[in-house]
Amino acid sequence: MQTIRQLSAKIVEHKLFQPTIIILILINAVIVGMESYRGLYENYGNWFIRIDTIILTIFTIEIIIKLLASRPMRLFFKDGWNVFDFFIVASSFIFMGSPFVTVLRILRVIRVFRTISVIPSLRKMVNALILTLPSLGTIMILLGVMFYVFSVVGTFLFRDVAPEYFGTLQHTMLTLFQIITLESWASNIMRPVMAELWWSWIYFVAFVLAGTFVVLNLFVGVIVNNFEKIEKMENEDEEPEDLQEEVHMLRKEIKELKDLIKNR
């Protein structure tokens, strides 16, 4: 058992291990892209399936080796990206032979996301992006409350006038999401509703103003976040506290000096 673990660790750390996986992911990406062309799929469908089976096998072996290589096996699942890899490969087995070809295909496409889990710089960046999300928590809740209140009000007010946009709560929510992206909010949504209820502009203008203001502050939050991170890194280099302490010490020593001279 010990030897298997050591062997696995050696394989994982081999300098060709990661590039091989990256190349396989790229081949997988190309295959799945080619499959999306009907003509190619009809003629070479069998080849695609064969190559896919080979890739899936190698990916399975890869994960087993990685699992074996991590000292306490639980450690493997502590990294979110390993869990991500594990589920992507595992799900391919679960849906194997199922009649839902589309599900299987989408799973194969999602494997391309493994580029992120395999290339360290991408992994780092995505981790950083995800880490900014919790700091935006409060403003997200605020946006959520705003969305919910405007959705319920919008449904009550406009469900009879524009059922395709405000028919049910979920329709209204989608419509509000569209409005917050400012896409056709006036020409397609507000103006037809206004033709029936002239005062409806208050609702739309209020939502656009409040929504863009909150979203703007969400964006500002992301920007400020980034700057704070950078400044923190810079401040660690500068160590201004040391300077202050050093000047403080200086003063103490001069006092001692003075006492020394006086008391002689």
Q: Which of residues 165-204 bind its own copies (CB under 8 A)?
A: 168-169, 174, 177-178, 181-188, 201
| 222-251 residues near its own copies, rule: CB under 8 A | 222-224, 226-228, 230, 238-240, 242-244, 246-251
Instruction: List the one residue from 73, 96, 205, 206 that touches its own copies (CB under 8 A).
Output: 205
DSSP state of 160: T
Q: Nearer Cβ to its own copies, position 6 or 184?
A: 184
Residue where the block lists tokens 């799973």: 107
Run of H or E residues at 201: helix 201-238
Output phi, psi for 183, to 5 deg. Answer: -85, 115
39-78 residues near its own copies, rule: CB under 8 A: none
Question: Cα 160 from chain centroid?
Answer: 38
Q: How far apart are CA 176 and CA 246, in angstroms?
A: 58
Contact 67, 76 (CB under 8 A): yes
Interacting positions 111-170 with its own copies (CB under 8 A) = 112-113, 115-116, 119, 121-122, 125-126, 129, 138-139, 141-142, 145, 148-149, 151-153, 155-157, 159, 168-169
Alpha carbon distance 185, 200 (integer Å): 13
Question: Do residues 112 and 28 make contact, with C-beta atoms less than 8 angstroms apart?
Answer: yes
Q: Tell me the closest approach of the beta carbon of residue 258 to its own copies, in angstroms.
A: 6
Does residue 26 bind its own copies (CB under 8 A)?
no
**Could you tell me the smallest distance in angstroms from the CB atom of residue 46 to its own copies?**
19
Place of tokens 């450690």: 75
Residue 54 or 129 with smaller CB distance to its own copies: 129
Please identify, using beta-carbon distances, which residue of 87 and 148 lies nearer to its own copies: 148
Q: Distance (Å, rounded) from C-alpha 16 to C-alpha 24?
A: 12
Subset of residues 77 to 116 that bind its own copies, contact rule: CB under 8 A? 102, 105-106, 109-110, 112-113, 115-116
Nearer to its own copies, 11 or 106 (CB): 106
Residues that contact its own copies, how many (by CB under 8 A): 86
Dist. CA 214–CA 143, nearest whole Å:
7
